[in-house]
Amino acid sequence: MKVLVIGNGGREHTLAWKLAQSARVQTVYVAPGNGGTALEGGLHNVPITEPDALADFAERERIALTVVGPEAPLAAGVVDQFRARGLRIFGPTQAAAQLESSKAFSKAFMKRHGIPTADYETFTDAAAAHAYVDAQGAPIVVKADGLAAGKGVVVATTLAEAHAAIDDMLGANPLGVQHNAGGARVVIESFMAGEEASFIVVSDGHHVQALATSQDHKRIGDGDTGPNTGGMGAYSPAPVVTPNVHARVMREIIQPTIAGMARDGIPFTGFLYAGLMIDAHGRPRTVEFNARLGDPETQVLLMRLKSDFFELLMHATDGTLDKASLEWDRRVALVVVMAAAGYPAAPRKGDVITGIPKPTAEAHVFHAGTTLDAQGRLLSSGGRVLGVAALGESVLEAQQRAYEFMRPIQFAGAQWRRDIGHRAIRQRP
């Protein structure tokens, strides 16, 4: 069987790597892929990004299954286009992907179906939004309605920050938010205290299989300080998701969401990522939904997955996920992201990368922003450049192994956090 993975980041390198391990998979194409997918055995990059051209390729090459990595092609309707041509693809339709692509849609959905989340109001008028923030006080959360590559959420600790976020999101748009129909809109919601975790499931529209739990580190700096990024590291499992919290998340958030989407006539097929806030009493609430796998959560989840990933996604596209079962490595997986100089504000590209070690049974370097030049040199080409992932008997062992594996890797201006997993290490020494 031939498989196609759409995307070019660390998540897609990992997806392609895992799919290539299936006995039934002969070739994995990655469109457009990166330097890592160009170098990894069994993977082949194809320089295509347009949905029509991707569907032409899938038809021509008799691709058995296409898997979509990032949110942008989902929001653009790539799944609808493939399905209209009778091509098997795993991901949500454009309508279902609104759970991520429109914060206003997602909050209204949660309210309608009684799914626990923060109280909120939606605004298109800046004066009304400013007045609301003044009345509510800080801390408060301001979210752009449309996709913004992870930059559309401001957790404002002061009123001044909240007012500035409203002006940015409803005005000049320096964050480059992709506005939905009707123009710029913000969701303003109350601040939720607690610990965050990533809860990702696979759904065929009706049935659900939960993946292992994970947590990521969104801030650029050690001690979870500085600006937000796409994620500077992650680990799995997440100790904060105890068996009791897990059961509550499934019962109160995941199952009502899948059932609610089906009832609303837009069944959700794909990876559903609930970003959770878990309070001191173990009460989970939804911070946001993503309609895709997390990055870099995918790297740690698929390091731990022992089952055949291709078989799982074939079940998910056949509507028979209830027949699938998942087996996980009981060890901890941890990934440390190496980012480019200037990330997240203005990442520098074109730095030569050297020293990437060969994979072992316990450690693997997944590429994110890398490319091969005409001379075969590996260059940085994005904000997050590499993810160094490792397995260990404990969080500490996985952490030590990942940092040790990273040691020979060099590129000018590389920045990484030294404390990935610190919260889990504190909770479970």
Residues 146-165 that bind ligand GLY (CB under 6 A): 150
Interface with ligand GLY: number of residues (CB under 6 A)? 8
Q: Is 344 in contact with 229 (CB distance < 8 Å)?
A: yes
> Minimum distance between the CB of residue 36 and ligand GLY, rounded to whole angstroms?
18
Q: Which stretch binds ligand GLY (CB under 6 A): 47-55, 276-284, 287-295, 378-386?
A: 287-295
Two structure tokens written together for 215? 């947590």
Q: Which stretch binds ligand GLY (CB under 6 A): 119-127, 153-161, 290-298, 333-341?
A: 290-298
> Minimum distance between the CB of residue 376 and ligand GLY, rounded to whole angstroms?
31
Nearer Cβ to ligand GLY (168/216):
216
- Please state, in angstroms and rounded to a whole number, the distance separating the CA atoms of residues 155 and 196: 13
Among 73, 231, 233, 387, binds ligand GLY (CB under 6 A): 231
In sequence order, what are the residues at sequence separation of 6 or more whose Cβ sits closer than 8 angstroms to the Cβ of residue 190? Answer: 118, 119, 120, 136, 140, 141
Two structure tokens written together for 115? 């799914």
> Minimum distance between the CB of residue 13 and ligand GLY, rounded to whole angstroms?
14
Q: Does 204 bind ligand GLY (CB under 6 A)?
A: no
Q: Does 297 bind ligand GLY (CB under 6 A)?
A: yes
Q: Which stretch binds ligand GLY (CB under 6 A): 115-123, 170-178, 294-302, 393-401?
A: 294-302
Q: Is 333 in contact with 419 (CB distance < 8 Å)?
A: no
Rounded to the nearest 10 degrees, the angle between the axes of helix 10-19 and helix 297-304 is: 20
Nearer Cβ to ligand GLY (97/324):
97
Q: Which stretch binds ligand GLY (CB under 6 A): 163-171, 291-299, 323-331, 374-382?
A: 291-299
Residues 43-72 that bind ligand GLY (CB under 6 A): none
Q: Which stretch binds ligand GLY (CB under 6 A): 12-20, 61-69, 178-186, 293-301?
A: 293-301
Two structure tokens written together for 56? 């032409």
- Convert 51-64 to b/e letters by CB count within 10 Å (16 or more is b): beebbebbeeeebb
> Minimum distance between the CB of residue 87 and ligand GLY, rounded to whole angstroms?
26
8-state DSSP, 321: G
Nearer Cβ to ligand GLY (22/229):
229
Nearer Cβ to ligand GLY (22/214):
214
> Minimum distance between the CB of residue 228 and ligand GLY, rounded to whole angstroms?
10
Among 102, 290, 317, 370, binds ligand GLY (CB under 6 A): 290
| Rounded (10°) CA dihedral 177, 180, 186, 190 | -100
Q: Which stretch binds ligand GLY (CB under 6 A): 292-300, 360-368, 380-388, 406-414?
A: 292-300
Largest CA distance in the chain: 60
Q: Does 33 bind ligand GLY (CB under 6 A)?
A: no
- Please state, in angstroms and rounded to a whole number, the distance separating the CA atoms of residues 306 and 290: 24
> Minimum distance between the CB of residue 198 and ligand GLY, rounded to whole angstroms?
7
> Minimum distance between the CB of residue 217 and ligand GLY, rounded to whole angstroms?
9
Among 91, 146, 270, 294, binds ligand GLY (CB under 6 A): 294
Beta bridge partners of 201: 210, 272
Q: Does 168 bind ligand GLY (CB under 6 A)?
A: no
Nearer Cβ to ligand GLY (143/163):
143
Cα atoms in the Cβ-side hemisphere of radius 13 Å centred on 271: 26
Q: Does 216 bind ligand GLY (CB under 6 A)?
A: yes
Element (H, E) at 167: helix 159-170
SS3 224: coil
**CB-based burial of residue 257 (10 Å sphere; 0-12 exposed, 13-18 middle, 19+ buried)?**
buried
- Please state, in angstroms and rounded to a whole number, the distance separating the CA atoms of residues 73 and 95: 12
8-state DSSP, 108: H
The single residue listed with the structure tokens 């001044």 is 160
Q: Is 159 in contact with 134 (CB distance < 8 Å)?
A: yes
Q: Is 58 in contact with 66 (CB distance < 8 Å)?
A: yes
Q: Which stretch binds ligand GLY (CB under 6 A): 52-60, 260-268, 288-296, 413-421?
A: 288-296
Q: Which residues bind ligand GLY (CB under 6 A)?
A: 150, 216, 230-231, 290, 294-295, 297
